Structure 1
Amino acid sequence: MATRKHNDFLDASQSDDDASQGYDSEIEDLKKGGRSSKRRKIDSDASDISDEEVEQQDEEEDDDEDEDVEAEKEKESTADSKKSKKATLQGSKSSELPGVSRPLTKKNLVASAAAIKKSGVVYLSRIPPFMKPTKLRSLLEPYGAINRIFLSPEDPASYTRRVRNGGNKKRSFIDGWAEFVYKKDAKHACELLNARTIGGKKGTYYHDDVWNLLYLKGFKWHNLTEQIAAENAERASRMRAEISKTTKENKEFVQNVERAKMLEGMEAKKAAKRRKEDEDTPRVEKPVKESKNKGERPRHFKQTQVAVKKKPEEQPEQVKRVLSKIF
């Protein structure tokens, strides 16, 4: 049996790990998440390769990596542009109907038309003094569901007159309209309340006031708004006509002022020119008569002919003889 050497593990020829390369720093960096070095390892056998060729290979690898990075950037930019286009389209759709999440469908329009057909409008010819729409709603709601209420305010001149004389400063209303959801409720309310006291607890402010209600058959709320819109349009057209008239008058006045200034300037230029000519021409003394005759235009006046009295005609001899015998 051969004796075992103490330094067998030091003998390179008999060692089993000839193929192992020992500790490699690049492999450790890759394990930790780092990048491998761009420069390739050159074996001792390939020592005949020049340094210039190695640098060219490195530059080609850098160019390939740059191209990959640019392609990734282009993909990201195209994705961002698609997202921005979608956002702009959504924004344009939402801007078409501001404040409305969904457009009105045919079903909703049919439902609203049916609700308008079922509704009924009541006219209040007199509103109790200083009654507000909220109070009127609370008094009429027990007789049926109410949709809208409109009260026409009093004249501002009467309000200022009342406040100036020390009266109540609250706002008052003249008449109004109330829209019930169902027309049958509007009819029942008019039948029950018309020409009756408001009532309620004794001592309340509106206890002794009387209702004045009238159901408007075939009248809908849009009829009231159409009338108000027509009145507003008429007022606006009247204002436009007045404004156009005043602007036209102002324009004519400005044109007349400018024309007057222009004529004054022309007259001033003519006077200055005439004055200059008089200064340049020598003065020649002329007789007064000749200057007058030369300066004045000859005038001819039509003369009326003098009326000549007609001589009395001589009477015949026979007439003279007869007259001489009579007288």
Structure 2
Amino acid sequence: MKRKMETSDHEQEEEEEEEQDEQPTTSVDKVLDTGEKKKKVTPGVIYLSRIPNKMNVTIIRSYFDQYGHTGRIYLQLSKNEGKGKRERGPKYTEGWVEFKSKREAKLIAKQLNNQQVGGRRRTPWYDDIWNIKYLSKFRWTHLHERFQYENEVRKKRLRQEVLQAKREANLYIENVEKGRKLRKLEKKMEAAPEELNIREWNYDQQDPHEAAMRRKSKKKDQQQSTAAAATV
């Protein structure tokens, strides 16, 4: 049996206005003999900013079924899940709960927010406090869009990391190849000149003063030879 919820007159007026805003279906409900038009009930979503310790989807559904008609439920796993010491059962950080009616979702969020979770005293979540927010104009499709966007961002980041790793690997291979060629060249430089087909040029260095004296003496001999030839 579901727990009764009390609302003020002001809240009831707001709820009636919300129901008036909801568009009726174009077809007449043939099941009802009265011929009244069947109104379209818009689901509502609440956001749980933290998940009580040891709670999972099954426990969350069982808990909120006491207050309303739950629909889809999604709990976000912790990013550190599976790292370090393994704990019994998964750990969740946040969650979304859909109710068949947005009136139910709004009232449940208002009634349970900042309230003790309660239940059996021996349960791990008995002393925890709920932090619940009703998401106005939020639909379950918005949650799918968010996850799709996050997946695209994650894929893009992974592609960038792969490209960076490839660039680093190619640079490493290039440096290794350069180092291998450099070592090979150094070994050739250490080898004999004959193996490198290098011609050695040897130059005898002369004293500049002696060279000048020899040129002067040679010039003097030439002048004497020319003078002797002229006298003959």
TM-score relative to the length of structure 1: 0.41
**After superposition, what is the alpha-carbon deviation per residue over 1:208-253, rounded to whole angstroms, capped at 9, x for unaligned?**
4433221100112222222222222222212211221221232233
Match of 1:171, SS? coil
The equivalences for 1:116-195 within 5 A come to 118-156=42-80, 160=84, 169-195=88-114
Which one has the bigger helix percentage? 1
Residue matched to 2:121? 203
CA RMSD of aligned residues (A): 3.9
The Cα of 1:146 is off from its aligned counterpart by 1.8
Distance 1:194 1:245, change over 3 A: closer
Match of 2:76, SS? strand
Distance 1:276 1:160, change over 3 A: closer
Match of 1:214, SS? strand
Q: Structure 1: any 5+ residue segments left out of the alignment? A: 1-115, 291-327
Match of 2:72, SS? strand
Which one has the bigger strand percentage? 2
Distance 1:181 1:262, change over 3 A: same
Distance 1:187 1:277, change over 3 A: closer
Match of 1:210, SS? coil
Larger RCO: Structure 1 or Structure 2 (Cα < 8 Å, ≥ 6 residues apart)?
2
Return the alpha-carbon distance in structure 2 between the equivalents of residues 277 and 189 of structure 1: 90
Return the alpha-carbon distance in structure 1 between the equivalents of residues 203 and 122 of structure 2: 110
Match of 2:65, SS? helix
**What is the aligned residue count?**
167
Residue matched to 1:214? 133
Residue 248, structure 1, aligned to residue 173, structure 2? no
Question: Which amino acid is 1:118 matched to?
Answer: T
Question: Which amino acid is 1:203 matched to?
Answer: R
**After superposition, what is the alpha-carbon deviation per residue over 1:258-313, rounded to whole angstroms, capped at 9, x for unaligned?**
3454566567678879415879x8x99975x35xxxxxxxxxxxxxxxxxxxxxxx
Match of 1:186, SS? helix
TM-score relative to the length of structure 2: 0.56
**After superposition, what is the alpha-carbon deviation per residue over 1:66-95, rounded to whole angstroms, capped at 9, x for unaligned?**
xxxxxxxxxxxxxxxxxxxxxxxxxxxxxx
Question: Which amino acid is 1:160 matched to?
Answer: G
Distance 1:245 1:267, change over 3 A: same
Question: Which amino acid is 1:190 matched to?
Answer: A
Match of 1:179, SS? strand
Distance 1:259 1:181, change over 3 A: same
Distance 1:177 1:270, change over 3 A: same
